[in-house]
Every structure is written in structure tokens, then in C-alpha cells.
Structure 1
């Protein structure tokens, strides 16, 4: 997934902040946008570790790093 696609997805979460939208990569991560804290919550499903990101750029970078190995393994 390209970083521009990730940023577009994150912008969509902000636009629909009154709804609860959860993006899940099974066995890997869960991503939601919290209207209350105005941050993205990224949870790694392997260990349950939750990391908040206050802006699109930092959340997109974290997701890109996490998702990049998946693409490389599929080659």
C-alpha cells in the first residue's frame, strides 16, 4: 500500500469521526480514529500494544512501516 493511499484512508476516518470505523489487518493491526482524543489509535493484535498518533503524517508513517513487510513477503 502506498503512503498516499494510507493518508487518504486516514483522512476518511477523520471525515466520518461521528461514526466508528475500524480497519483491521487480521492477526496484525487494528486502526480507529478517536473523536474524543482527536487521534488515531493503532493496536498491534499480536501483543495488544496500543499507540496513539496525533496527526495523519505520523500515523501514515507507522502504518506504512508495519504494512511494508507484508508486501515484500508477497513477492
Structure 2
């Protein structure tokens, strides 16, 4: 929590970013996700799949569908 609070001053549309608010490189995100999935023993994990799963769960809780940027 303290790490999130330390970066609260940054204003960005990004959920995850580098320390100065710059976007993360795609390879960094993919490598991180691949390692986390391996440790969790989850197969076929990818950014798109996680996004789809998140949106499905939100919809199951009654949220209205809207088009989000890719």
C-alpha cells in the first residue's frame, strides 16, 4: 500500500507504469505475467485473457457493457 501511496501524485490513465509514469514495455509485462502464471501453475495466461476475464466478472456483477480501448 505504501508503494501505491508514494505514486499517488502521478496522473495517468495507466494502471501499471514505470516510476516516472512512463508506460511499461510490452515485454516487461509479458515476462512478469509469464513468471507469475508459472508460479501459480496457471496455463494460457496472457494480458488479453486476464482483461477478458476481468470484464466477464464485472458483467456478471451487473455492470453495463461499454466499449473500452484495446
User: Which TM-score applies when normalising by structure 1?
Assistant: 0.30
Q: Higher relative CO (CA 8 A, sep ≥ 6), structure 1 or 2?
A: 1
User: Which TM-score applies when normalising by structure 2?
Assistant: 0.32
Q: Which has the higher helix share?
A: 2
Q: Which has the higher strand share?
A: 1
